[in-house]
Chains A and B, each alone.
Chain A
Amino acid sequence: MTERKQFKLPDVGEGLTEAEIVKWHVKPGDQVEVNQTIVEIETAKAVVELPCPFEGTVGELMVEEGQTVDVGVPIISVDVAPDGSEPAAPSASAAADTSEDLVPQADEPGVVQPEQPKRQPVLVGYGVKPGATKRRARKQASPPPPSSPSPAPAAPAAAQAARPAPTAGGAGTATRSYPQVVDNGLPLAKPPVRKMAKDLGVDLATITGTGPRGSITREDVQQALAAPAAAPVAAPGVQAGAPAAAAGVREERIAVRGVRKATANAMVASAFTAPHVTEFVQVDVTRTVEAVRRLRDLPEFADVKISPLLLVAKALLTAVARYPMVNSTWVDAPNPSNGTSGGGAEIVVKHYVNLGIAAATERGLIVPNVKDAHTLSLPGLARALAELTATARSGKATPADLTGGTISITNVGVFGVDTGTPILTPGESAILCIGQIRDMPWVHEGELAIRKVTTLALSFDHRVIDGELGSKVLRDVGAMLEDPLHFLAWT
């Protein structure tokens, strides 16, 4: 005879309200111990492993991997031996926690509860349990709320008269009674509800509130969202002149978070701190394409897929070796770690290359980098690039992969366009952009021919790199791709 206990998703980080189940470490039927890791979850703050609070046999995994669940929702059940060493019924508060507290409590008779929120997120713990905070009825004898709960007005003691009178005349009660209607034309709603409505793209003006004094509650917003067709009916007159909303919404609001937010911040930071210059050059890369084809036949490249990007990367690395300044960082204040003194800015030139490759992933744009790419042989670089893109695409790039880059490449050719003006990865001074390679009419050895041509673009931080240096780097990269023999000459 065992007792089935449920473990509910806790708030593991000061006021988080939800988390995504990343990976289960156990399956039904498994024996688990107290504090054994059972699941990995990802919150807005971190990926964390959750330890099991019970000892017993896993009954059921109640949430699938990839699902996002609210704090307080049961995620796993464990069959626990009764009277086991485990906290069977440790306390009133914990005992009530098994599962029933998630069932909405029936309103108590006579209790006015105009707003019946579900679990409200608070700063810590599981959030407020409706069951634990259900209200008892006020005694009938007690005066109705509009009059002050303070007994003070009945006791005008001398001591109180000395204080700034909080109960001067009727003002004390007047401030406590709420105006029936707020006549500023704005709908009544608490700030979190406004935020929620904004996030969900719901216009509060279209909702009739059911909360206290007609205020709009979370439930009202959710209902409005569930039945969008009904929404425009409210607030007639305001919409005069506006064409009736056809089936489907005309605008959509998408909350900015995660990679989108990080990308936006990085791009703004970069665009408005480093003065960007972008230069372009068109190059005949027929020989590079041919070279890549021949490399594929070599045993060294038998187990790795390669593309012209490999030689573009190699060309950039070679150019960095020839012009180290392009692989540097502008630092506004001197770096305290190296002990230098003096007040001005510094340029930190790196004698290593962590080569960033911009990758479009499901989560958005990320720029993982190949560490110490300058030390790699060509097959080694090929493998590192393949691994990097595979890791990035699968969403498993670690913070280490994503930080510490020194120079980057972005391949917009994969999207079928010729070129772009890339924005620098923050902290770097140059980024090389390669467009699509396509057949073009080209003057080759004095005659018009059909050649494989691409456009290279190099954006650089003009604080660090002058037009001359940037041009040299771009020209050399082009030269190496036009005739790979340059690789031999320059390395």
Chain B
Amino acid sequence: MTIDSVRGAPGSGELADSELVQLLTPEGERVDHPDYPLDITAEEVRGLYRDLVTVRRIDLEAVALTRQGELGIWASLLGQEAAQIGSGRALTGNDMVFPTYREHAVAYCRNVEPLKLLGLFRGVNHGGWDPKEHGFHLYTIVIGSQTLHATGYAMGIQRDGVLGSDKAGATIAYFGDGATSQGDVNESFVFASVFNAPVVFFCQNNQWAISEPLEKQSRIPLYKRAQGFGFPGVRVDGNDVLACLAVTRKSLAHARDGQGPTLIEAYTYRMGAHTTTDDPTRYRLKAEEEAWKAKDPIERVKKYLVKEGEADQAFFDEVEAEAKKMATELRKACLALPDPEPLAIFEHAYAEPHPLLTEEQEQFAAYLASFEEEGTAR
């Protein structure tokens, strides 16, 4: 009761800050921003719309599968699609992503099969994708530690001497508003700043660190923290896919050119629970969710396309049907995922053979072999 009674209307979405970069209003109006011009074709906007709908549908299916006991847990991205698709589509092949456990849409942009993500939360793999191949690191469950990895990796790119060339890449570290209170995140800000590392810190401020509201995390808007560390910070409308695309694109280019890090605060809202084990009705009010519903990231793109006459109902229906088909197939494939072989646990721990691990592996194999055969071999 103390918490609710002492704070005003948190995250009601009313943003007095005029520095919010927005290119597409919730009403679907295209607006310009002097620092972030964006040339984009109708075809590209339709593509972004398709991405947004598809990842939302995948996410929905994963939540349902969790509710049916088929996944152990799932962190829904509902409401954060634009922040993830916008930033994800700004990446190029040389860039490297360091995600949290909620970046399903960024994974999608990096061509990581959604089934691999489901496998992780079904407990049949430890990630399952090759981070190098996709430029997408494994999900990090520990809050904020991936910002250190991203900074270190970026310093590696810097030492490769490729910045400013065609081969230049940057890293992007995803994290939430809650992670900004972590030591790791602040340490990585210090390192990135003083070494001028090519890293983009992409903070999805979804207003809630599980049940802890933003005003218990910071006295100032998060993007302003960057100034204290000595690099630029920008706040972007996280529910505006175009703005997220433009801002991330510029920050990545900045990093690849050797001009150092940027903090992007994508101002958005977690429409669902923190994870499927959380019940947000216990700590936040329905009215707050309703206020954010009006800022839905998908609706505004739809409104824009309709208004501009760039898409008709047939297009929307087709996208919907495709997404549904994909979800149905994903469900089937998920239920058919085989349990891993017991010895598979030894496979990816070290890049090269490790004597102690090899010994343990042999012992475990001997143990498994010590049982009577059960009909055919296991």
Interface residues of A (CB under 8 A from B): 7-14, 34-35, 45-51, 53, 85, 87, 90-94, 123-126, 136-139, 142, 149-151, 159, 266, 329, 331, 335-339, 348, 350, 354, 398-400, 402-406, 425-428
Q: List, in ascending order, chain B residues with CB within 8 A of A9's CB.
A: 69
When chains A and B are docked, how far (Å) is the Cα of A7 from the Cα of B67? 11
Residue B350 at the A interface, CB < 8 A? no
CB contact between A329 and one of B6, B276, B281, B355 (< 8 Å): that residue: B6
Judge whether A427 and B8 touch: CB under 8 Å: no
CB contact between A403 and one of B1, B215, B278 (< 8 Å): that residue: B1
Judge whether A90 and B366 touch: CB under 8 Å: no
Q: List, in ascending order, chain B residues with CB within 8 A of A91's CB.
A: 335-338
Residue B30 at the A interface, CB < 8 A? no
How many cross-chain pairs have Cβ atoms below 8 Å apart between A and B?
Answer: 141
Judge whether A335 and B286 touch: CB under 8 Å: no
- As a 0/1 sequence over residues 39 to 76 of chain B, the CB contacts with chain A under 8 angstroms (1 = contact) are 00000000000000000000011001011111011000
Judge whether A123 and B72 touch: CB under 8 Å: yes
Contact sample, A vs B, 28 pairs, CB 8 Å cutoff: A10-B70, A12-B69, A12-B277, A35-B60, A45-B277, A45-B278, A45-B279, A46-B277, A46-B279, A87-B331, A90-B332, A94-B335, A124-B72, A125-B69, A136-B372, A137-B372, A139-B371, A149-B367, A331-B6, A336-B215, A336-B219, A337-B7, A337-B8, A400-B285, A403-B4, A405-B5, A406-B5, A425-B1
Q: List, in ascending order, chain B residues with CB within 8 A of A336's CB.
A: 215-216, 218-219
- Given A46-B278, A46-B282, 20 new contacts (CB under 8 A): A8-B69, A11-B69, A14-B277, A87-B336, A90-B336, A91-B335, A91-B336, A94-B70, A125-B72, A139-B371, A329-B2, A336-B218, A337-B6, A337-B10, A338-B8, A399-B282, A400-B285, A400-B286, A403-B4, A427-B6
Among B66-91, those with CB < 8 Å from A are: 66-70, 72-73
Most buried by A among B6, B69, B219: B69
With A13-B277, A125-B72, A398-B281 in contact, is A49–B67 under 8 Å at CB? yes
**Interchain nearest-CB distance for B71 vs A (Å):** 8
Judge whether A51 and B67 touch: CB under 8 Å: yes
Residue B283 at the A interface, CB < 8 A? yes
Q: List, in ascending order, chain B residues with CB within 8 A of A11's CB.
A: 69
Q: List, in ascending order, chain B residues with CB within 8 A of A123's CB.
A: 72
Among B111-139, those with CB < 8 Å from A are: 123
With A90-B336, A91-B336, A149-B363 in contact, is A48–B1 under 8 Å at CB? no
Judge whether A404 and B216 touch: CB under 8 Å: no
When chains A and B are docked, how far (Å) is the Cα of A87 from the Cα of B65? 13
**Which residue of the partner chain A has the closest CB to B378?**
A136
When chains A and B are docked, how far (Å) is the Cα of A427 from the Cα of B3? 8
- As a 0/1 sequence over residues 364 to 378 of chain B, the CB contacts with chain A under 8 angstroms (1 = contact) are 001100111010000
Interface footprint category on B: 35 or more
**Which residue of the partner chain A has the closest CB to B327?**
A35
Q: List, in ascending order, chain A residues with CB within 8 A of B7's CB.
A: 335, 337
CB contact between B328 and one of A45, A85, A331, A425 (< 8 Å): that residue: A85
**Interchain nearest-CB distance for A248 vs B (Å):** 39
Q: List, in ascending order, chain A residues with CB within 8 A of B10's CB.
A: 337
- As a 0/1 sequence over residues 210 to 227 of chain B, the CB contacts with chain A under 8 angstroms (1 = contact) are 000001101100000000
When chains A and B are docked, how far (Å) is the Cα of A90 from the Cα of B338? 10
With A35-B64, A331-B6 in contact, is A126–B363 under 8 Å at CB? no
Q: List, in ascending order, chain A residues with CB within 8 A of B317's CB.
A: none
Residue B339 at the A interface, CB < 8 A? yes
**Which residue of the partner chain B has the closest CB to A48?**
B67
Q: List, in ascending order, chain B residues with CB within 8 A of A405's CB.
A: 1, 5
Q: List, in ascending order, chain A residues with CB within 8 A of B286's CB.
A: 400
Q: List, in ascending order, chain A residues with CB within 8 A of B285's CB.
A: 400
With A87-B332, A350-B5 in contact, is A7–B371 under 8 Å at CB? no
Judge whether B371 and A137 touch: CB under 8 Å: yes
Q: List, in ascending order, chain B residues with CB within 8 A of A403's CB.
A: 1, 3-5
Judge whether B4 and A404 touch: CB under 8 Å: yes
Q: List, in ascending order, chain B residues with CB within 8 A of A428's CB.
A: 1, 5
Judge whether B219 and A339 touch: CB under 8 Å: yes
**Interchain nearest-CB distance for A72 vs B (Å):** 9
Judge whether B370 and A426 touch: CB under 8 Å: no
**Interchain nearest-CB distance for A287 vs B (Å):** 34
**Interchain nearest-CB distance for A293 vs B (Å):** 35
Judge whether B279 and A126 touch: CB under 8 Å: no
3 A-B pairs closest in CB distance: A10-B69, A46-B279, A124-B72
Q: List, in ascending order, chain A residues with CB within 8 A of B279's CB.
A: 45-48
With A405-B1, A425-B1 in contact, is A142–B68 under 8 Å at CB? no
Q: List, in ascending order, chain B residues with CB within 8 A of A137's CB.
A: 371-372
**Which residue of the partner chain B has the closest CB to A143?**
B370
When chains A and B are docked, how far (Å) is the Cα of A47 from the Cα of B4? 21
Q: List, in ascending order, chain A residues with CB within 8 A of B283's CB.
A: 399
